[in-house]
Amino acid sequence: MTLIFFLLVVRFSSLNMLVFYVSFEFIFLVMFVFLLGWGYRPERRQASFYMVFYTLVVSFPFLVFLVCEGYLLGSLSFFVYGDWGRYWWFFLVFVFIVKLPVFGVHLWLPKAHVEAPVSGSMVLAGVLLKLGGYGFFRLCGYLTRFLFFSSGYIFSLGLLGGLVRCFFCLRQVDLKSFVAYSSVCHMGLALAGVFSFTYFGWWGGWFMFFSHGLCSSCLFYILYVFYERFFSRRMFVLKGSLSHIPLVGFWWFVFCILNMGVPPSLSFFSEVFIVIGLGGMLFSCFFFVGGLLFFAGVYRIYLYVRVMHGGSLFGHVSYLPVVREYLVFFCHFFPSLLIVLFLGTFFW
């Protein structure tokens, strides 16, 4: 974990593209070892190889791009731009789309989340999924000319893919897989906002990255709390949990509604900004964004009600949370509240 955080600091502070690439890919190699060594079930081997195949194979064109740039320009700085022909932009975008991930190249994410330990799921949902979006922002100088004319295809992929994933969420019985697929919906909406190339769309994408990193990470930790008590992540086993752990149920409700975008949460600001950005780009996007947000709200309500309410299989047993769990809940909730207060002060 210390090595992952060190590589993240190197990546966020690097001005050289080769250092950016090495830290970018080495993080997922460390995550591969983390998943393979500390995963729960024998299926962790398949999940780890899925992640390596998706994330490393598509990064090879990016390495070729770096070699060509270093040879032709004699520099790998982010401030030196070159013209790389007609098709290079596709390979540069594709490597970040897989890391995000977007519908079509997302199959490694649910497998990795289901088999990873709780710390791996929290880091993967809270930080590592944002590396693809951060790569778009860092390489926008290379990609702007190409993406401005092709952005419609990319944000349509994110928007329609997120809408399709909403229906897949309602068919999940494993809670970890449910939250993992909901991450694909969030990232698809954030990608649509970024590639709208509007002021509000960009800010909405940034806010979506922050809000998803806080809410989704805590949801995975609450699932771990459920697993410690009931030794299962199945919905039909965990139903009626509100009568056993009401205090944890309260935090489950808080982060479900924060993830749903109830005002004045950070997700609410991000969704409003993305809707304004996409509507300013193309009016027909209102219908697809409205459908995505509606069904996203439906599956989040379903997620809360299906777990907390109903007849329980465990009788009248009650469990008390420990201080460590409350601390983790509050450490996810407080930054989200602080960012909302800062945004309110800024816009006021």
Rounded-to-integer distance, Cα 263 and Cα 212, Å: 15
- pLDDT tens for residues 94-118? 888 888 888 878 888 888 888 888 8
Mean pLDDT computed over 21-25: 84
Q: What is the pLDDT of residue 255?
A: 92
Structure tokens belonging to residue 286: 């209102």
User: Per the structure block, which two tokens stand in for 307?
Assistant: 């777990």
Q: Considering its fold, how many domains does the chain have in total?
A: 1
Tokens in use for 22? 């090495």
**Helix or strand (DSSP H, E) at 29:** helix 17-38
At 144 the pLDDT is 65
Q: What is the pLDDT of residue 232?
A: 84
pLDDT of 271 above 60: yes
Residues 6+ apart with CB under 8 A from 265: 211, 257, 258, 336, 340
* pLDDT range class, residue 222, cuts 50, 70, 90: very high
- pLDDT tens-digit profile of 308-335? 888 777 766 777 778 888 899 999 998 8
For the question of whether the overall pTM of this predicted structure is more than 0.75, the answer is yes
Q: Which two tokens stand for residue 267?
A: 């997700």
Angle at 210 between CA 62 and CA 101, to 5 degrees: 40
How far is residue 231's CA from residue 243's CA, in Å, rounded to a whole number? 17
Q: What is the pLDDT of residue 28?
A: 82
pLDDT tier for residue 84 given thresholds of 50, 70 and 90: low
Residue 138's domain comprises 2-347
Mean pLDDT, range 174-203, rounded to an integer: 86
What's residue 82's pLDDT? 58
Q: Are 113 and 39 in contact (CB under 8 A)?
A: no
Cis peptide before 264 (omega within 30 of 0): yes
Percent with pLDDT over 70 in the chain: 91
Give the whole-number percent of the chain exceeding pLDDT 90.
4
- Residue whose C-alpha is closest to residue 50's, from 69, 66, 31: 31
